[in-house]
Structure 1
Amino acid sequence: MAASLTNQLVVALSSRALFDFEAENKVFEDGDDSAYMALQLSRLDEIANPGCAFPLVKKLLALNTPEEQRVEVVIVSRNDPVSGLRIFRSAEHHELNLTRGVFTRGSPAYRYLKPLGAKLFLSAHEHDVRAALEAGFPAARVFAQSMTEADKHPNEIRIAFDGDAVLFSDEAERVFKKDGLPAFTAHERSKALQPLPPGPFKPLLDAIHKLQQETAQNSPIRIRTALVTARSAPAHERAIRTLMQWNISIDEAMFLGGLEKGPFLKEFEPDFFFDDQTGHCESATQAGPVGHVISGIANQSE
């Protein structure tokens, strides 16, 4: 019988999302892939340091048991197969149980998300992230400069999400961009009982919520989620009612009314935070790993 990833949370990520390959990437971006391959081969025995997504991956994999495989992490990378040798060797050194990988040697990597059934794609390559989002996959461009402390809260997986254009559609954000805050507030007040359409990260939230329920009683690691949004009262009501309609509970909610998100996230200390606006992402790098969700009206001109 063929192997299957059905009923698992499949996380696909590039090599630069998992490990710190920023120095090597400069050679890759110069367009000389043979030089990049030679460099990675020369460093085959040099263990790569953790990258932006390392803390999240390490904790998610800890949810697996000999009896049940709940999470599968797959490297989906524009690197070449030779570079894959160092990636898997580094993963083994860091005690990450990674067994699957796709290496495309410069070709778009997002094409392989569909056969994998990926619920999350993390990459430093903007084109692949945009294409993955357009294809309906939750995807984010990692901020390589984000803080990475895998030992924070070892018994909790902390994931924080922005609301509009991330968990929810950008419907309301379009009103704000076009007509300003008073129109946005009036729009959201009038539609408080009408759930927001789902955004690109709704499938990931569904999968995380399912994992949260499955592991609540029998796992030493708990999952904790947070909604961190620029919304404020009375626009908060529609967001909360939308989550209620989806039968999803969030552990913490921060309605910040436009305040800088970084200081609040620094208190929450997420293993990953997802936001659609670069300003919020840059602020959040002081608190932990960050992924830019390149979707919605805020990213149409970028």
Structure 2
Amino acid sequence: MPVSLHGQLVVAISARALFDFEAENQVFEAGDDRAYMALQQQRLDEPAPRGVAFSLVEKLLAFNEGGAPQVEVVVLSRNDPISGMRVFRSARHYGLPIERGVFTRGASPWRYLKPLSAQLFLSTNEADVRQALQAGVAAARVMPQAARASAAHPHELRIAFDGDAVLFSDEAEQVFQRDGLAAFQAHETSRAHQPLPAGPFKPVLEALQRLQHSTGGGMKVRTALVTARSAPAHERAIRTLMDWQIEVDEAMFLGGLPKGEFLREFEPDFFFDDQAGHIASAAAHVPAGHVAMGVAAGQG
């Protein structure tokens, strides 16, 4: 009988998002991929340092302990197969039960997301992330220099999401960008009882809610909505989640305040946002990924 990942949360992640390969990447960026391969081969027995998304992956995999598999993590990387050996050895060193990987030696790997049934793709490569989003897979560009996750919550997976263009579509954001704040508030107030269309990360939040209701590995899930919305536009966001029958544990309606310090206090294992400016604010304090989606995706 063929193996199936059906029913599991499948997360595809690049090697550089999972491990800190920044020193080796400098060689790669110099345009000498063979020197990069040789360096990785020299370091095969040297575990790579933990990367930005390491805590997220470690906690997700902990949900598999003591029960049926609920999460599958697959390395999906532009690395070459030799470098892939170091990735697997590093995972084994840290006790991460990662068994599957696809290594494409410089070619874009996003096409393999569909046969993997991946629901989330994390990569440091912006082009790959954009292609994944266009293919309908939730994806974020991991900031390699972002702060690492707090170790204060070893048995609780904490994830924070922006709202518009992440959990929700960018329908309302388009109004704000075109007509300004007053028009945005009026638009959202008049549609408070009309659910927002889904954004790319709705399936991820749904999967986290399923994990939240499980007891795998003694792990818990805590989620937060961290949005630039403020009252009265907050109501449509909350009512949309209610319509989806999805709960979040915390909601922060910040009205344009910088998100970084609020996220520092929440201490997520990862934060997703579509605006580069919010990601820059967040990355100083927490692991963060840019969702290159929607009308405001390129804004600083």
Output the TM-score relative to the length of structure 1: 0.97
Return the offset for 1:286.
2.7
Determine if contact 2:160/2:223 at 8 Å carries over to the other structure.
yes
Aligned equivalent of 1:129:
129
Q: Which moved more, 1:59-68 or 1:120-129?
A: 59-68
Q: Which runs of 5+ in 2 are unaligned?
A: none
CA distance in 2, matches of 1:224, 1:255: 17
Aligned equivalent of 2:225:
227
Question: Secondary structure of the residue that 1:299 maps to in structure 2?
Answer: coil
Determine if contact 1:54/1:150 at 8 Å carries over to the other structure.
no
| Residues 93-172 of structure 1: pairs in structure 2 closer than 5 A | 93-149=93-149, 151-172=151-172
Determine if contact 2:62/2:217 at 8 Å carries over to the other structure.
no
Code of the aligned partner of 1:46: E
CA distance in 2, matches of 1:203, 1:94: 29
CA distance in 1, matches of 2:150, 2:45: 23
Q: Which moved more, 1:158-167 or 1:277-286?
A: 277-286
Aligned equivalent of 2:274:
276
Return the offset for 1:66.
4.3
Matched, 1:246 2:221: no
Output the TM-score relative to the length of structure 2: 0.97
CA distance in 1, matches of 2:92, 2:214: 27
1:234-253 C-alpha deviation (Å, 9 max, x unpaired): 00000000000000001000
Matched, 1:287 2:266: no
Question: Secondary structure of the residue that 2:296 maps to in structure 1?
Answer: helix
Determine if contact 1:119/1:207 at 8 Å carries over to the other structure.
no
Aligned equivalent of 2:7:
7
Determine if contact 2:270/2:288 at 8 Å carries over to the other structure.
yes
Code of the aligned partner of 2:91: A
Q: Which runs of 5+ in 1 are unaligned?
A: none
CA distance in 2, matches of 1:196, 1:20: 37
Aligned pairs, how many?
300
1:6-32 C-alpha deviation (Å, 9 max, x unpaired): 111111000000000011112222232
Return the offset for 1:148.
1.4
Return the offset for 1:206.
1.3
Return the offset for 1:300.
5.9
1:78-112 C-alpha deviation (Å, 9 max, x unpaired): 00000011101111111111100000000011111
CA distance in 1, matches of 2:98, 2:85: 12
Determine if contact 2:63/2:70 at 8 Å carries over to the other structure.
yes
| Residues 5-154 of structure 1: pairs in structure 2 closer than 5 A | 5-149=5-149, 151-154=151-154
Determine if contact 1:243/1:249 at 8 Å carries over to the other structure.
yes
CA distance in 1, matches of 2:41, 2:246: 46
**Shift in alpha-carbon separation, 1:166–1:191, aligned structure 2, 3 A:** same
CA distance in 1, matches of 2:60, 2:183: 41
CA distance in 2, matches of 1:67, 1:158: 21
Return the offset for 1:228.
0.2
Aligned equivalent of 2:190:
190
